[in-house]
Amino acid sequence: MPIGFQAFKEDGSLLFDIDRITYGLLKSGYLNLVDRWGRHYIRSLNLNPNEESSWVYTNLLDPICGITVTGAVSPIVFLVGDGKPCGEFVSGNDRTLYFQGCSPNTKAFVFDLMRDVGERSGMECYDAAGRLSFTTGMPPLNVIAAVDPPAINPPVSPNTTTRWTPYSGGANESSGREWSSGDYAQPKGAVFVPVAAGELAAFLTFSRGCMLIEGTDFGSGTFRTNASEGCGGASSGIRFFFSPAVATTAVITGSSNTSWSDIPTDRQPQALVIRATDYPFPFR
């Protein structure tokens, strides 16, 4: 049997094992504004929505933020502040990870499989096959909690899936103009969940989708759009939220009230949480 190595935390739980996959911090920093994406707006309700010619690309602009990493294999991003992933751009060995619904203060902590990062003054461990499995050059990922989102609010009436706000205990708020007053104002249905002391960062395991009516009470238009779920860390807790999906379609409704419908309730994601103050910022 090959000789192994294990490290344990003060409470006796396993910190890392050289024979197991270990993630470490590859990069941390603020998300930067990289682009603005619009929406596709149907030119007339009388047109066939299945025809491409029925739609026109509009200037209902959503800020797109990103962080670029080099040599990433399978990155996982924890955010301090709201945000949800919406794609990536790869150029050679560089990968820019895109996010929507962020502010200029949103922090990103990018973790990836541990590899040789040129650290020679610390400790490196290898598995039985000779592959590097742990290095002190990449601070190890330490998830302190896995948090379920609050229950989805019940419908406003028995014969509909419409809800005024997505989460029990949450509320709607205006968003979208964190970067510029010229961007598109839109509603965000959010809720705060207390977790632990300190500045926390969160990663959502998957995102649910739903339909959103953007009323005049929040936002700057009266459209029916698609929405998706996001999550981010905060002081002593995390925020779950729904907001318009990236580059979604927009159909005029004329509604005065914001509402959310068709939110899946038979399944839900989890938010994995780390304590952001345990990691260097910025890093690399």
* 224 closest CA partner among 212, 215, 232: 212
Burial of 9 per CB tally in 10 Å (0-12, 13-18, 19+):
exposed
Given this model, what pLDDT does residue 18 score? 67
Decide if pLDDT at 119 tops 80. Answer: no
Amino acid at 51: E
Decide if pLDDT at 2 tops 70. Answer: no
**Mean pLDDT, to the nearest integer, of 164-183?**
93
pTM to 2 decimal places: 0.89
- Kindly report, residue by residue over 121-155, the tens digit of the pLDDT: 677 777 777 777 777 788 889 899 999 999 999 99
* Least-confidence region, from 122-136, 178-192, 216-230: 122-136
CB under 8 Å to 158, separation ≥6 — which residues? none
Given this model, what pLDDT does residue 10 score? 80
Q: Cα–Cα distance between 253 and 272 in angstroms, integer? A: 37
Tokens of 209: 């989708």
Q: In this structure, are strands 55-57 and 259-261 parallel, antiparallel, or unpaired? A: unpaired
- Kindly report, residue by residue over 17-41, the tens digit of the pLDDT: 766 668 999 999 999 999 999 888 8
* 176 closest CA partner among 35, 81, 62, 41: 62
Tokens of 31: 């998300």
* Least-confidence region, from 9-18, 59-68, 199-208, 227-236: 9-18
**Mean pLDDT, to the nearest integer, of 189-193?**
97
* Least-confidence region, from 12-21, 79-88, 195-204: 12-21
| Average pLDDT score, the chain | 89
- Kindly report, residue by residue over 53-109, the tens digit of the pLDDT: 888 887 778 899 999 999 999 999 999 999 999 999 999 999 999 999 999 999 999
Q: DSSP code of 159?
A: T
Q: How many CA atoms lie within 13 A of 240 on its CB side?
A: 28
Given this model, what pLDDT does residue 1 score? 39
Given this model, what pLDDT does residue 116 score? 76
